[in-house]
Amino acid sequence: MSNPLEQFKIINLLPLKVDGIDLSFTNASLSLSLSALCAIVYMLLATRGQSVIPGRLQSSIEVMYMQIESTLQGVVGNNHAKYMPFIFSVFIFVLMCNLLGMLPYSFSATSHIAVTFAMAAIVFVTINIIGFWNHGVRYFSVLLPGGIPIAMVPLMFLIELCAYLSRPFSLSLRLAANMVAGHIMIKILAMFIIMSGAASLFLSAAPFVLLTIIIGFEIFIALLQAYIFTILACVYLSDAVNLH
DSSP string, 188-239: HHHHHHHHHHHH-TTTTHHHHHHHHHHHHHHHHHHHHHHHHHHHHHHHHHHH
Q: What is the residue range of 216's domain?
A: 33-242
Tell me what the mean pLDDT of segment 126-145 comes to.
Answer: 87
pLDDT at 227: 94
Q: Do the domain assignments include residue 20?
A: no
How many C-alpha atoms does 19 have within 13 Å on its Cβ side? 0
Query: Would 18 be classed as within a structural domain?
Result: no
Number of structural domains (the chain) is 1
Per-residue model confidence (pLDDT) at position 2 = 66
Q: Please compute the mean of the pLDDT values over residues 7-16 and round it to a whole number.
A: 84
- In the predicted model, is pLDDT for residue 88 greater than 90? yes
pLDDT reported for residue 57: 84
Q: Is residue 10 part of a domain?
A: no
Asked which of 38-52, 104-118, 139-153, 175-189 is least confident by mean pLDDT, the reply is 139-153
**Cβ-proximal residues to 208 (8 Å cutoff; 6+ apart), any chain:** 193
Which 3 state secondary structure label does DSSP give 67? helix
- Give the separation between CA 122 and CA 114, rounded to whole angstroms: 12
Q: Among 2-6, 122-126, 161-165, 214-218, where is mean pLDDT lowest? A: 2-6
- Asked if the structure places residue 148 within a domain, the reply is yes
Higher-confidence position of 54 and 38: 38
Largest CA distance in the chain: 73
The single-letter DSSP state of residue 127 is: H
Q: Are strands 17-18 and 21-22 parallel, antiparallel or unpaired?
A: antiparallel
64-68, 104-108, 110-114: which has the minimum mean pLDDT? Answer: 104-108
What is the per-residue pLDDT for 73?
92
Q: Which helix (H) or strand (E) holds 14?
A: strand 12-14
Residue pair 39/92 in contact by the 8 Å Cβ criterion: yes
- Residue range 88-106: mean pLDDT, rounded: 90
pLDDT at 12 over 60: yes
Contact 229, 90 (CB under 8 A): yes
For the chain, what is the mean pLDDT?
Answer: 85
- Residue 197 counted as domain residue: yes
The pLDDT tens digits of the residues spanning 26-39 come to: 888 899 999 999 99
Highest mean pLDDT among 114-123, 155-164, 184-193: 114-123
- From the list 223, 106, 243, 123, the residue with the least C-alpha distance to 171 is 123
Confidence grade of residue 103 (pLDDT, cut at 50, 70, 90): confident
Residue 23 lies in a domain: no
9 lies in a domain? no
In a domain, 38, yes or no: yes
